[in-house]
Chains A and B, each alone.
Chain A
Amino acid sequence: MNYFKESIDSLHEKLVNKEITAEELTKQTFENIDQTDPKVAAFLALNKEAALAKARQLDQQGIDPNNVLSGIPVAIKDNLVTKGLTTTAASKMLANFNPIYSATVVNKLDALDTINVGKTNMDEFAMGGSTENSAFKVTKNPWDTTKVPGGSSGGSAAAVAAGEVIAAIGTDTGGSIRQPAAFNGVVGMKPTYGRVSRWGVIAFGSSLDQVGPITSTVKDNAVMLNAISGLDKHDMTSSDKEVPDFTANLDKDIKGLKIGIPEEYLAEEISADIKQSVQKAADYYRQLGATVETISLPNTSYAVPAYYIIASAEASSNLQRFDGIRYGFRAENAKNLDDLYVETRSQGFGDEVKRRIMLGTFSLSSSYYDAYFKKAAQIRTLIINDFKDAFKKVDLILAPTTPTTAYGIGEDVSDPMTMYMNDALTLPVNLAGLPAMSVPAGLDKDGMPMGIQLIGKPFDEATIYQAGYAFEKETKFNQNTPKMGGNN
């Protein structure tokens, strides 16, 4: 199946009209993966047998013409637990972990009769921005296989960009959906904190983590978010706010929409091509009748330190559960219980995870708690207030998603400071719990994809989709596809 020429809608039509069966579509998806994944390495595990069995069962009961997702194959990031299918979070710690339940998002997709084709690669426990921190394999950017796909949802973004699947699920703690979406020229949405249940997501930074879809079009993305949103009694931070149909207003005129560009997001570290892509996007929006003005989010430069203090603190707490006792990896030949904990964790975690656990342990320790953790939480309030003030003036914020396009494999991984600063444009949104989406914004001078980021008010994903759809329709940047991949 040539996914570069399809959408969820067009596949649904083919399934309903019996031009293709769900089984054939699933088989062809695995053919895509067999053909492309040796070059891209987006997948950690394939779910062939169960996927084909479910597709056959769907064919027998008939595709529901009123359920656009019936029989659509999707991929799932490997930090969402899947019952009966190995879930590793790309860590040696969980190399053979077989969950006894599925994440709420996975259950919702399953109940809507999507077909889970497999689990995608990521940075270990979602810590990183290049997928190089996976304990198992290095995923390549399908646009240039010497470059990283971004991360931590690098496998999900690369799988969609390479035409292996039509849609994939990712998670975003500091940009882990939006940054790989930008690096791969696809659409990635981080919903409002609480919009999507985190139950069954292997926790990293619990006050920051959100699940969201990665797709090649804005509409497909909205369809996927419809499927996974909503209150979940298992996640007490999930919101009881009504979930609107995110596809309902896509075509609505954006005339009169007030858009703000934060001056702090166009600092000198941002590549010239990317700055220009934001200005061009502003021009498009003006042509479509929106107003675009410069705004200020004055505390932006403190977001990186505040985020890394908070995220590492939450990570150090969340990752205490990996102790070699109840599940996952257990070190051999431990002399006593304490030795078992230490050996298991020292052998089971990779360097980036250890670094974050230590940073978090440090900033939570009693002598540093006020100076680091509490101070960072206060700065988080200031960052939230910046956004609140901005949204008094504008409906939507337009910004670059990343400072640069994808960099070479091996370039940044040894220098954590550079890696952390790369997240400066995405992580303020996680601190504030806001929804934001990266949309393809063309190619830079080296032919690598760029992304613009649309940031909305809390629970206003609908306006983000509306503006993203208008931009996509006007520019057709989503129709750029990598030279390699799928059936090109």
Chain B
Amino acid sequence: MSSNISKEEVAHVAELAKLKLDDNKLDYFTKQIDDIVGMFETIDKVDTTNIDPTYSVTDQLNTMREDIADNWNQRQALLDTAPETKDGFIEVPTIIDESGDGE
């Protein structure tokens, strides 16, 4: 097996992406991502000296509009789509773990 990316690197990437992988899944994804990154590396051999990158293919350069708020008056409807709300706010867990078994 080639090694374009290590298990540790995949674990690090998963952490950055806020994904948790158990050991089986980590092995599974490492093998696949290793293959895919190997395929990515084929672009190495292309000479791109002085070639500008393309990040967008839109034909619209700048789209201007008046800086006016567009109020849809859907505050309650938006709150209704949130998983948990309280007193007109979206409720989230505490930022610091209070259960005692955290870091």
Which A positions have Cβ atoms within 8 angstroms of B? 97-101, 193-194, 207, 233, 236-241, 299, 301-302, 304-306, 308-309, 316, 323-330, 334-343, 345-346, 349, 354-355, 357-359, 361-363, 365, 371-372, 374-382, 384, 416-417, 420, 431-433, 458-459
Contacts and interface: CB of A to CB of B under 8 A. Distances in A.
What are the nearest 4 A-B pairs in CB distance?
A433-B57, A377-B53, A330-B83, A378-B48
B54 interface: yes
B5 A362 contact: yes
Contacts of B99: 335
Given A233-B65, A336-B97, A358-B29, A384 B54 contact: yes
B20 A346 contact: yes
Contact of A237 (B60, B84, B90): B60
Contacts of B56: 207, 237
The number of chain B residues touching the other chain, given as a range, is 35 or more
A99 B99 CA distance: 35
B88 interface: no
Nearest to A316: B17
B74 A100 contact: yes
Contacts of A433: 57-58
B69 interface: no
B1 interface: no
27 contacts: A99-B81, A100-B74, A237-B60, A241-B59, A299-B46, A305-B41, A309-B43, A326-B81, A336-B94, A336-B102, A339-B93, A339-B97, A340-B93, A346-B20, A346-B21, A355-B33, A358-B14, A361-B16, A374-B53, A376-B43, A377-B54, A378-B46, A378-B51, A378-B52, A378-B53, A379-B46, A379-B48
B93 A236 contact: no
B86 interface: no
Given A305-B40, A345-B17, A354-B29, 11 more contacts: A207-B55, A236-B60, A236-B63, A237-B58, A330-B83, A355-B36, A361-B16, A365-B13, A375-B46, A378-B52, A433-B57
Contacts of A384: 54, 57
A365 B16 contact: yes
Interface of B: 5, 9-10, 13-14, 16-21, 29, 32-33, 35-37, 39-44, 46, 48, 51-60, 63, 65, 72, 74, 77-78, 81-84, 90, 92-99, 101-102
A337 B32 CA distance: 30
A361 B55 CA distance: 17
Secondary structure at chain B's binding surface: helix, strand, loop or mixed? Answer: loop
A460 to B, nearest CB: 13
Contacts of A239: 58-60
A240 B43 contact: no
Nearest to A337: B95
A361 B12 CA distance: 10
B19 A193 contact: no
A240 B65 CA distance: 14
A337 B81 contact: no
B33 A381 contact: no
Nearest to B78: A100
A416 B36 contact: yes
A384 B40 CA distance: 19
Contacts of A335: 93, 97, 99, 101-102
B43 A342 contact: no
Contacts of A236: 58, 60, 63
B81 A361 contact: no
Given A207-B57, A239-B60, A345 B18 contact: yes
Contact of B59 (A305, A309, A381, A458): A458
A342 B53 contact: no
Contact of B60 (A99, A238, A382, A431): A238
B33 A362 contact: yes
Nearest to B79: A326
A422 to B, nearest CB: 13
A366 B51 CA distance: 21
B57 to A, nearest CB: 3
B40 A193 contact: no
A325 B92 contact: yes
B8 to A, nearest CB: 13
Nearest to A234: B70
Nearest to A208: B57
A302 B33 contact: no
A346 B29 CA distance: 14
Nearest to A341: B18
A379 B51 CA distance: 8
A339 B15 CA distance: 11
B18 to A, nearest CB: 5
